[in-house]
């Protein structure tokens, strides 16, 4: 199986303040994982997302303000989120990395992509940067695909809920947003009751999980909710907000996953999409060895999805069982 690895030098020029966890070394850790996965890797340099591609998901006031802020020297945007002069270019190329992967897959160069870029994106709202994120990379890619007539499923396994991604597509019937995240936790969104609105009702699926949740519950969530929903939505593409901060060794996440759990989750994604038309985006994850090991496991699992198939675990799990009455209103989860 061929994988397209998309990077850009500007990801390393988005220089973090001293001690900030979202640092340039994260990119190298992810690249090392992709190269260790055993897949045949084709390297590509990200193109910049165009202004029009960015404006599909962000308003012009945000784009213009962020550009001007960076050109004037940058600084702290909020207590967590920063920018330096090169951050504007880093953000444009990070937003274009998914587009580069999609174009490569569409052109037959690979069947799966990994965008090892920063800054991350899933907290960025239509009109607001936040949570280490400047532009919403996965949303730019999803909107690009929808504009071309595709149905898109976004799976977000970052430990934090992707509030920006959810809100951008909250009314869209063409984008499924499915998030597994710690709750209560930053940014305080991602309630099970948030299921979309208007034509998008049902196309938002939130799986909030308590502090300390480990792999057994995540696997049950994929068996009983994620994989059935993906199968029923029948997407043309799957985009994964691949945060690795739910790993047990992560300094911020407070959850209990190990690299093999990411292998299992990626295998479920691979089965649902037929092991093609998938791009993984680096989101969170702040322990470098955990990023490397989990990235490698992600691509290994996607490649070996059929071999890793197992019978769904129907055992009781309060963290999952409490979600089923609401989600079953929109999906067949028997």
Break the chain into its structural domains and give their ranges. Answer: 2-327
Q: Tell me how far apart the alpha carbons of residues 245 and 182 are, in angstroms, rounded to a whole number.
A: 10
Residue 55 has what pLDDT? 98
Q: Which fold, 2-327?
A: 3.40.800
Residue 145 has what pLDDT? 99
Which are the contacts of 281, defined by CB distance < 8 A and separation ≥ 6? 97, 98, 115, 117, 120, 121, 137, 138, 141, 239, 240, 241, 242
pTM flag (> 0.85): yes
Q: Tell me how far apart the alpha carbons of residues 38 and 318 are, in angstroms, rounded to a whole number.
A: 37
Residue 253 has what pLDDT? 98
Is 14 in the active site?
no
Catalytically annotated residue among 8, 123, 160, 161: 123
Residue 315 has what pLDDT? 76
Residue 303 has what pLDDT? 96
Residue 334 has what pLDDT? 81
pLDDT tens, position by position, for the chain (334 residues)? 999 999 999 999 999 999 999 999 999 999 999 999 999 999 999 999 999 999 999 999 999 999 999 999 999 999 999 999 999 999 999 999 999 999 999 999 999 999 999 999 999 999 999 999 999 999 999 999 999 999 999 999 999 999 999 999 999 999 999 999 999 999 999 999 999 999 999 999 999 999 999 999 999 999 999 999 999 999 999 999 999 999 999 999 999 999 999 999 999 999 999 999 999 999 999 999 999 999 999 999 999 987 777 666 667 899 999 999 999 999 999 8
Residue 167: both structure tokens together: 């809100």
- Helices of type H across the chain: 25-36, 51-55, 60-71, 87-106, 137-147, 163-168, 215-221, 227-233, 259-273, 288-303, 318-321, 324-327
Residue 104: both structure tokens together: 């490569």
Residue 321 has what pLDDT? 97
């Amino acid at each position: 199986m061929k994988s397209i690895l998309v990077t850009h030098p500007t990801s390393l020029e988005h220089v973090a303040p001293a001690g900030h966890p979202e640092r340039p070394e994260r990119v190298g850790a992810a690249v090392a994982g992709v190269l260790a996965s055993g897949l045949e890797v084709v390297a590509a340099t990200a193109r910049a997302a165009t202004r029009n591609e960015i404006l599909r998901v962000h308003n012009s006031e945000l784009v213009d303000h962020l550009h001007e802020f960076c050109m004037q020297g940058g600084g702290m945007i909020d207590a967590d989120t920063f920018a330096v002069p090169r951050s504007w270019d880093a953000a444009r190329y990070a937003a274009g990395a998914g587009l580069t992967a999609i174009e490569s897959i569409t052109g037959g160069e690979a069947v799966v992509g990994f965008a090892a870029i920063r800054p991350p994106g899933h907290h960025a709202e239509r009109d607001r940067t936040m949570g280490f994120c400047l532009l919403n990379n996965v949303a730019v890619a999803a909107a690009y695909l929808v504009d071309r007539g595709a149905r898109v499923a976004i799976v977000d396994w970052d430990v934090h809920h992707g509030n920006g991604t959810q809100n951008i597509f909250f009314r869209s019937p063409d984008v499924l947003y499915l998030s597994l995240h710690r709750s209560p936790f930053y940014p305080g969104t991602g309630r099970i009751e948030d299921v979309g609105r208007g034509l998008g009702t049902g196309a938002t699926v939130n799986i909030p999980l308590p502090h300390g949740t480990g792999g057994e519950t995540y696997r049950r969530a994929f068996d009983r909710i994620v994989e059935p929903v993906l199968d029923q939505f029948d997407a043309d593409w799957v985009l994964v907000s691949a945060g690795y901060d739910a790993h047990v060794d992560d300094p911020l996440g407070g959850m209990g996953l190990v690299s093999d759990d990411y292998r299992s989750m990626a295998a479920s994604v691979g089965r649902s999409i037929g092991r093609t038309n998938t791009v993984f985006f680096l989101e969170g994850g702040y322990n470098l060895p955990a990023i490397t090991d989990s990235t490698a496991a992600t691509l290994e699992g996607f490649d070996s999805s059929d071999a890793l198939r197992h019978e769904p675990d129907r055992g009781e799990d309060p963290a999952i069982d409490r979600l089923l009455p609401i989600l079953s209103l929109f999906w067949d989860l028997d």
